[in-house]
Each structure stands twice: as structure tokens, then as C-alpha cells.
Structure 1
Amino acid sequence: METVRAAEAALMARLPEGALMQRAAAGLAAACAGLLPRVYGARVVLLVGSGDNGGDALYAGARLARRGAGVTAVLLGSAAHESGLAAFRAAGGRTTDDPFEALAAADLVLDGITGIGGRGGLRPDAVPIARAARGSNAVVVAVDLPSGVDADTGEVTGEALRADVTVTFGAYKPALLVDPAREYAGALRFVGIGLDPHLPGVPELEALQHEDVARLLPAPGAESDKYRRGVLGIVAGSTRYPGAAVLAVSGALRGGAGAVRYVGPAGDAVLARHPETLVHSGRPDKAGRVQAWVVGPGLGEGPGPVVAVAEVLASDVPVLVDADGLRGLDPAVVRARRPAATLLTPHAGEAAALLGVAREEVEAGRLAAVRELAGRFGATVLLKGSTTLVCGPDGGPVRVNPTGTPWLATAGSGDVLSGLAGSLLAAGIPAVEAASAAAYLHGLAARRAAAGRGGGAGAGPVTASEVAESLRGAWRDVVAPAS
């Protein structure tokens, strides 16, 4: 967030006083107008803090008042933005000492209590007002980001005001993309205010789009064979969990692998579903030529998974470690002279065990957790969950996957993701790109599966097998989107 603050300061130095706030307020007012059945006669309440977000709210309120809305401001904090308040009153806006009466009748509430500098949740005096706003029938619109969330980390350490819509200015803040704060933001509306030339070339966060992923995905050429397309080795499954092996192989085959070599005790189950799989019952290093390995899904407990992970990590090709393979993983082993990339794909509980903290700590600070894991293990980390994050070992931008859906919270979906990401590693795609593209396709496939084969707008429960089956369609949507 320091980069956004610096960009705003640089731009304000080149503009007349107040011009940047007026740009933001114009976009904010337009967004609010679009959320109302009509502006004239609408009842709008502004929750105004003492910072610039409060000023944005006041100037936007003045614009709505000039269009015939009845706009009431609730002034919170030590002092309201002076020129914003003057403009608001000149436009016919009024202030009130009874916020609860105004909120009970509101059609739209503008949350301008705190801004990007806010920390630690709402102040105690603002909490009952925020609760009343959320309990009303009004549409709650956050100014730049919901009040009470941490803009830099996405953490919510106190009470925050959950918005239906957030109108953000100039750049997306981490809190709008990373849970738990993301859940407070609602639908996002972006207003450009001219910050782009003043922002650094390397952002803190990135979110890929269709065209970005399309450039990453491999496409076979006229001279391709299974080895050029990539052979993936998969060490997964057990007599107790044979399905994990089947699902990982499913993800790999639908992720474009030229061939899959399966190593483990679930060979019969794998062949029954995917007869094209090359099955080996011995050690991984005797299975044959591969361009990458996936190890861990469904291996179970005991010494077996530890031995399998150690053997695979001793290879000279990229390795993805997931699920049971992560249990007790030693950072020194991962970092020790590996000539190729390592990709770890934990969920929050596994990440907590690797970091030696409580799961709740990871859930509350996902951005910090993924960065800590990547640095500690010297590996690329894909942290699964409500917000899937990808971080490389070099400390570059964290990738935020925009395609996820809660329907992915189903048994076996992570096994499909591992196979898919492993197939992209085997195709020669760098670990950060492979993880990001896999998460993107995985989310799209789940959305396709949830919408049903007819592609309707509705959604319903899905299984991991259905997610795997939908990968082909998701891939096609990305590389050849409908015009």
C-alpha cells in the first residue's frame, strides 16, 4: 500500500488542490447512481470519518444531492474534511445527530469511516452505527475499501463494515483481493483516477486474466510427441485412498500431459479409469523418464510418504508436493541443492503445520503466510483456500486467483489441481506460472461444472471428478474465448 500512497502523493503534487479527490468523488457518485432505481428522491446516508475517504463521501454526496437525492451525513471522528463538508452543505446536504433514524430509512449508505490507513477494526463509537447500517435495507457502498479491514494484508482484527459494493480508486488494494477482508468488499467497481504512470512496474499483487493464461498454456506442434509435450510422474494414492491417485491422474491427463507415469499401490484403480496411464509398482527412480513429479495426494500416514518425498526431491526435475507429502516436510531438504523448481500446494491447515502456528493464524493472514512459506522453503507456494495465492521464492508479486468458487470445497478437488499443475510443470512452464495457470483453470472448471452441462447461470454442488471432466472446456474457453 505504500506504493499506492506514494503514487497518490506524486499525482496530487502535479494537480490543482482537491482535483484528485474530485475525480474519485465523480466516479463514486456515478457508481452510486447506478445502484439506485432512481437518484431523485432517493435517501442516501454518508458515514463520514475524518480522513480522505470521508472527503470522497462528502463530495460524492454533494453530487447526488444536486441530482435530487436526500443526502444525510453522519459525522464521525475528530473533524470532517473541511472543503468537502462545505461543498456538501452548499448542495443541500444535511448532517444529523441521530444516525439510527436516518439509517433506518436509507436506500443507500456510503461507508467513508476509515481509509487505507485504518488499522485494527472500527473504533468502539463507530461499531453500533456500522451494525445499524448493515442491518438496514440499504445498499452499503464502501469508499475505496470497507472500514475496519487492513488495506495492506487483508486481515480483519476487529469489527468491520461489510459492504455490498466497494468502489475503489486508482489501484486494487490487497484487502479487496485477499480473504478474510475480501469477503467484506462485496462486488468491486474500479474508478481510474490517473495513478498508473506513478505506480511501480512491479505490483505487490497480480491477478491473471484469460489472455494471460492463454499465453502460458502449451500447445502441441506438428513435431510434438509425448516426451516433448511432457511426461509427468505421479506418486499418489494408497490402499486406503486409491481415489486420490485416480483424481491426480485425471487432472494431469486433462492438463495436457503427453503421458503420465503412475507409481503406487492404486494402479488397478488408475488403469480402470485411465488405461492410457503407465503404471509402475516399484520405486519412483525406477519408473522411467519424466519431466516433472507430483508426490503426496492420498499417500496416508507412516514412513512411506516421507521416503517417497525424499526420493522424488532427489531428482533433477520440477517437483510438486501436496497433501500427505507435506507432513513433516523439512525446509532444509527442500532447499538443499535442488537443480529444479519445487512447488508446494498446502491448504490452510497444512500451511499452519509447516509454519508451526494455528490454522486460524494462517486464515487471518493468508498473504503473510504464503510469503513466509515461500521464503522458508525456498519454493513456490500455492496456498489453497477461499483465496488461492501463489508466491515464488524470490519475493516477487503474489498471484491472486480470481476464478475460485466455494463449490471447490469438496473432497478430491486438490488432487485434481495437483495433477493439473504437475502437467504444466512437465511441459516446461515455470513453477509460478504453472501454479497460477492451474489454479485459474481449476476455478473455471469448477464454475463450469457447478453451472451444469448446459452452461446455465445457476450453480449447484460438484464433485472432484466433475471438476476434472470440465477442465477441457475451461481450457478451450481460455485459449479460444467466444466472441
Structure 2
Amino acid sequence: MRRAHAVADVRDAEAALMRRLPEGTLMRRAAAGLAATCAGLLGRVYGSRVVLLVGSGDNGGDALYAGALLARRGAGVTAALLAPERAHPGGLDALRAAGGLAVTDLAAATRLIDRADVVLDGIVGIGGKGGLRDDAAPLAAAADRSAGLTVAVDLPSGIDPDTGEVPGAAVRADVTVTFGTHKPGLLVDPGARYAGAVRLVPIGIDPGPPVLEALHHSDLAGLLPVPGELSDKYRRGVVGVVAGSARYPGAAVLAVAGALAGAAGAVRYVGPAADAVVRRFPEVLVHAGPPADAGRVQAWVIGPGIGDGSGAREAIAQVLGSGVPVLVDADGLALLRDTTVEPSAELLLTPHAGEAAALLGTDRAAVEAARLAHVRELARARRATVLLKGSTTLVADPVPAPVRVNPTGTGWLATAGSGDVLSGLAGSLLAAGLTARDAGSVAAYLHGLAARRATGVPGAPITAMDVAAALPGAWRDAVTPG
């Protein structure tokens, strides 16, 4: 599992380690990993052109020491000093001793960036807050225009390391070399979009419990339910799906498609789209409703395409009071704002940014700019596990626990009905016995893998049903060793 830690915990861990090591050891470890990554990206170091964007403090020191190592291997290295009087003295001496140069004319530095093979962003590190200063922003823009690679030192300058927020100008990196542990801002949009490929360099720190985590294939193998010899469809769990309407029968079909690809032994559909569901999936149990009369289930999924009529309002009240876990999506989220029924079991909400904004009484842009803060706030406010859909899907619990960020997926998932498939899949995992936290994060992971499988390489448009059809293969991929 990939883990990310808060800046305060990283700083404490670094300070504790530095007290036990000779002065400068930690910075040299970081610089060695940084230089090795740059050398690998360059392929041929000798004769290459490297520009260092150097701010004050340790982040600039990392860049300077890495530049010195590259200069010793024959690279032409120039450091652009944004604050010459506060540049790391040891790193600057090491660069000059290795044959590197330093300039303070930022206009000249911009011309050097245009011809660089690699630009190393060491402007600000994990202590940085707010966007880039006015003098640094043109250098970041020049690096973005350059044909060379931009490599960020620890994280791209201008993004918030704890939240991923980007309040102003920021460096857009092709690769970020981060030290000791991942920072949350590298994994959560919008910051993640600035980080490029993230490489982790161990430096020996132990920052304690993470604030963010991302599942790997190996984690899924331990979470996905596997039927035993004595299993039957009821022991595996039955998931109830309340979805669709006369206007939106497809929402029911798509949610059921996702549920059938999950771990439950049976799917019980409740609603007015029964004919459409059975035509596509004859194995599904159907009932006209209401949910309380449909039969026993181990979890409910409610919301996709149900509208806001009296039948939908009655249905959400019944499932919330049913005593089993409930997943609420789409139209159900709007109904949730008005219901007075308290959930009697675990509750999993699956909003996109606009739906989350409506539940929180804010606007969509605010949620998208600060996704981590808002998913936490919504989980606390609703006392529910929240899966916030988007370019980086986040899963947050109402109690203190690391937020999970989904590392799979593709932009091709932004297609009508894909969220309905995700809801059905997550609800099926709930019925099979997973917690809301695990069901949401595992479903998001498989959903993203399925989309990658369906779209192929280099990628092509897909439909929500393509994603559903690819789920069994994604499941196999996730649990296959190697």
C-alpha cells in the first residue's frame, strides 16, 4: 500500500533522524537518489544540459547537491538562484567545485531553460504555501514550454503538500522525486496533475501513521471475498438495487450490471425498470417495490435514476431504516438532504463534486479545488463513509482514519452511466461483507482497472456497459500473482 504523511510528521521524523546522523547525511541521501533518477531519465549524462531552479532552504540544497553529482559525470549544470543570499552554502560550494555554474539573472536563466535537457525544480519544498512568487512564475512557465524534462524535487513548487491545492502559479513536473514518503499533495488533484510520475527515494525516516493511502494489487487480494466450499448465493450475500425509472431505465440496467460483477451471490432489483433489467440480465430477482416488501438483502444500493417523486422518497426512508448497509448515489443524494430518517447501519455516499457541493452548501469549484478537505468535511457532517468521484477518487470515513485515494482509472471513465456501474459494484461488495471503507475503495480500484482494460492502449472511447463487461477481467488481474 502506498502511504502519504502530513508535512508536520515528515519534519519531525527528519529532525529525529538528523540528530542521530552526521550533519548533511540526509540531504546527501536525497541528492543521490535525485541525481540517479535524473541520470536514468537522461540516458547519457555526459554533455547533457541541466538547469537547477534554486530557492532558499533545504529544497534548493537538494537540487544543488544533485546538480554537483551530475556535473561530475560530465553534464553542463547551471543553477538559477532565486534568492542568492539564502542559497544553501554547502550545496552551492559543491556545485561550483564540480564545475557547475550559478546565475542570478533570471532572464538569462529563462534562455538556458529553453535549451535544457532537464530542469530541476528546487524552488520551494514541503514548507511552501501559496502559489509561486512573481519572480519564480516565469521560470516555471519557461520549464513548461521547454522540450526538456521537468523534475520536481520532493514536490512541484506551488502546490500545497498536505492538500494538493494549487492556489496560484505552480511548476508542472514530468517526474517528481519525493523523499522518505509520499506527500498527500502528490496523490490528490489538482496537485497530482502537476506531479507527473512520482518516484519515491527512501532516506530512512519513520513518520508514523499516514494521513492518506492508496491500495495496490496485493491489498485487493487480501480484501476481495472468495466463496468457500459451503457457500451458496445467500451466504455470499444478496444486494438490493433501487434504481431507474420510466424516464431512466438504463440507470437500473447499469447499476445491476455493476452489482452482478461484484462479490454478492444474488442481485435483487426493486423498481419500475424490471422488464428492462430482466431482458438484459435474466438471473436478477425483481420486485415492483417498495423495498420493504422485496425480500431480505445484506445491503442496499439506492439512487441512480430514481427521480424525486413520492415513491423515491418512501424508498430511501425504508432502506435507510432497514438495518443493513446502504449505498446512496445520484438522485438518492438529493433526497438524502431532505429525509429525517437516520441510517440504522453503515452508510456509503458516492457523490461527484457537484453533488458533494450541494450536500455541503458550497459550490462545485470549491470542492474541486480542495477535494481532500471537502471529502473529510462531508464524511464528518453526514456521519458516513464518502466516496468522492473524480479525477482522483477519494474515500473518507467519518472517524479519524487515512483517506484512501484511488490510483487506477482513466479520463475515458468520464462517460454517462459509469457512476451507476460503480455504485452497483460497491453495493455488491457491501453485501458480501466488506466495510463501507473497503467496499468503496476496492470498487473504485476495480472500476478504474476495468476502464483501462476496456479502453486499451493508447485509449479509445468506452461506454459504461464496456466498463461493466471488463470487471471480471479486472478482478482476475487484481488477484493474479505477479
For this structure pair, what is the TM-score category when the shorter chain's length is used for normalisation?
over 0.9
Instruction: Report what 1:448 is aligned to.
Output: 453
Q: Does 1:468 align with 2:468?
A: yes
Residues 1:121 and 1:219: Cα distance change in structure 2 (over 3 Å): same
**Counterparts of residues 121-132 of structure 1 (less than 5 Å):** 121-132=131-142
* Separation in structure 1 between the aligned mates of residue 134 and residue 266 of structure 2, nearest angstrom: 60
Unpaired segments ≥5 residues, structure 2: 1-6
- How far the C-alpha of 1:331 sits from its partner, in A, is 8.8
Instruction: Report what 2:3 is aligned to.
Output: none
Encode CA deviations 1:280-338: one digit per residue, 9 max, x unaligned.
0020000001000000001123344332211110110000000000004249846x3x4
* Separation in structure 1 between the aligned mates of residue 360 and residue 118 of structure 2, nearest angstrom: 43
Letter in 1 for 2:237: G
* Separation in structure 2 between the aligned mates of residue 333 and residue 255 of structure 1, nearest angstrom: 31
Q: Does 1:193 align with 2:210?
A: no
* Separation in structure 2 between the aligned mates of residue 59 and residue 177 of structure 1, nearest angstrom: 26
Q: Does 1:315 align with 2:325?
A: no
Instruction: Report what 2:161 is aligned to.
Output: 151
Instruction: Report what 2:400 is aligned to.
Output: 395
**Counterparts of residues 192-341 of structure 1 (less than 5 Å):** 192-195=202-205, 198-200=206-208, 202-330=209-337, 333=340, 336=342, 338-341=343-346
- Give the 3-state SS of the residue equivalent to 2:262 in structure 1: coil
Encode CA deviations 1:30-73: one digit per residue, 9 max, x unaligned.
00001113100001000000021100000000000000000000
Encode CA deviations 1:371-422: one digit per residue, 9 max, x unaligned.
0011001110000000000011112100011112111111110000000000
Letter in 1 for 2:407: P
Asked if structure 2 preserves the Cα contact closer than 8 Å seen for 1:142 and 1:167, the reply is yes
Equivalent of residue 372 in structure 1, options 374, 377, 381: 377
Letter in 2 for 1:275: P
* Separation in structure 2 between the aligned mates of residue 331 and residue 428 of structure 1, nearest angstrom: 29
What is the TM-score when the length of structure 2 is the normalising length?
A: 0.96
Asked if structure 1 preserves the Cα contact closer than 8 Å seen for 2:210 and 2:402, the reply is yes
- How far the C-alpha of 1:355 sits from its partner, in A, is 0.5
Instruction: Report what 2:431 is aligned to.
Output: 426
Encode CA deviations 1:171-193: one digit per residue, 9 max, x unaligned.
00011100000000011111111
Further displaced range: 265-274 or 2-11 = 2-11
Encode CA deviations 1:338-375: one digit per residue, 9 max, x unaligned.
44200000000000000010100000000001100110
Q: Does 1:382 align with 2:387?
A: yes
Number of aligned residue pairs: give it: 472
* Separation in structure 2 between the aligned mates of residue 341 and residue 275 of structure 1, nearest angstrom: 30
Asked if structure 1 preserves the Cα contact closer than 8 Å seen for 2:153 and 2:176, the reply is yes
* Separation in structure 2 between the aligned mates of residue 430 and residue 133 of structure 1, nearest angstrom: 45
Further displaced range: 58-67 or 324-333 = 324-333
Equivalent of residue 357 in structure 2, options 331, 337, 352: 352
* Separation in structure 1 between the aligned mates of residue 239 and residue 474 of structure 2, nearest angstrom: 21
- How far the C-alpha of 1:466 sits from its partner, in A, is 0.6
What is the TM-score when the length of structure 1 is the normalising length?
A: 0.96
Q: Does 1:65 align with 2:71?
A: yes
- Give the 3-state SS of the residue equivalent to 1:310 in structure 2: helix
**Counterparts of residues 3-82 of structure 1 (less than 5 Å):** 3-77=9-83, 79-82=86-89
Asked if structure 1 preserves the Cα contact closer than 8 Å seen for 2:308 and 2:335, the reply is no
Letter in 2 for 1:473: G
Instruction: Report what 1:454 is aligned to.
Output: none
Query: What percent identity do the matched residue pairs reach?
Result: 69
Residues 1:53 and 1:333: Cα distance change in structure 2 (over 3 Å): farther
Instruction: Report what 1:405 is aligned to.
Output: 410
* Separation in structure 2 between the aligned mates of residue 309 and residue 386 of structure 1, nearest angstrom: 28
Asked if structure 1 preserves the Cα contact closer than 8 Å seen for 2:179 and 2:202, the reply is yes
